[in-house]
Amino acid sequence: MNDFELSKNFSFYELAKTDNKNFAESNIIEAAIYKDALYNLCADILERVYDMYAKKPLITSAFRCADLNKVLGGAPNSQHIKGEAADFILEEVSNEEIFLRLRNSNLFYGQLIWEKFGASSWIHISLGYPYRTKTRSLESFIIEDGAVKDFGKKQCL
Ligand SMILES: [Zn+2]
């Protein structure tokens, strides 16, 4: 399946690709089923982050089919399996700075997580309502080596 534009700055492949060779093709094929969510993830979240920093978020993992998600140890109900979540970093910007800035911005998200695992660190962000319930939107916390370190929730819009 050919690549196509999801938004001004993001292509379908960027959100559907995986480094795991066993899922390289199947993950892209399955991602197409969730392209409406991926469009919204780009328009409502990733393009907004791009605008805030005038810098492109580098997607490390967005859509994951259920089997890939299992291999990667993701939560079974992860929004990644519905094309509703992306993990990213920004070159030359610390994840702490991104986490705090997005948490204090007016960006409407589902979950904002600063994930740290060993020497790796990235930002997980997902779509909020209607993809999650209103009460389960705007959750933000830190996960360090599997343990939740801090939890905060903003007032729901
Ligand atoms: Zn994630």
- β-bridge partners, 111: 139
The reported pLDDT for the residue numbered 87 is 98
CA angle 47, 51, 56 (to 5 degrees): 65
Q: How far is ligand 1, taken at its centre, from the CA of residue 124, in Å?
A: 4
The reported pLDDT for the residue numbered 151 is 66
Cα–Cα distance for residue pair 155/94, rounded to 1 Å: 26
- For the stretch 15-44, pLDDT in tens is 999 999 999 999 999 999 999 999 999 999
Q: Is residue 61 part of a domain?
A: yes
Sign of torsion, CA 69 72 74 78? Answer: negative
The reported pLDDT for the residue numbered 152 is 64
Largest CA distance in the chain: 42
Q: Which domain holds residue 96?
A: 12-153
Q: Is residue 3 part of a domain?
A: no
The one-letter code for the residue type at 148 is: V
The reported pLDDT for the residue numbered 154 is 58
Structure tokens at 47: 């393009």
Q: How far is ligand 1, taken at its centre, from the CA of residue 125, in Å?
A: 7
CATH of the domain at 97: 3.30.1380.10
Q: How far is ligand 1, taken at its centre, from the CA of residue 87, in Å?
A: 5
Q: Is residue 2 part of a domain?
A: no
Q: Is residue 94 part of a domain?
A: yes
The reported pLDDT for the residue numbered 156 is 45
Q: How far is ligand 1, taken at its centre, from the CA of residue 86, in Å?
A: 6
The reported pLDDT for the residue numbered 53 is 98
Q: How far is ligand 1, taken at its centre, from the CA of residue 2, in Å?
A: 25
Count of domains in the chain? 1
Below-50 pLDDT ranges, the chain: 155-157
Task: Give the phi and the psi of residue 42 in degrees, each rounded to 5.
Answer: -70, -50
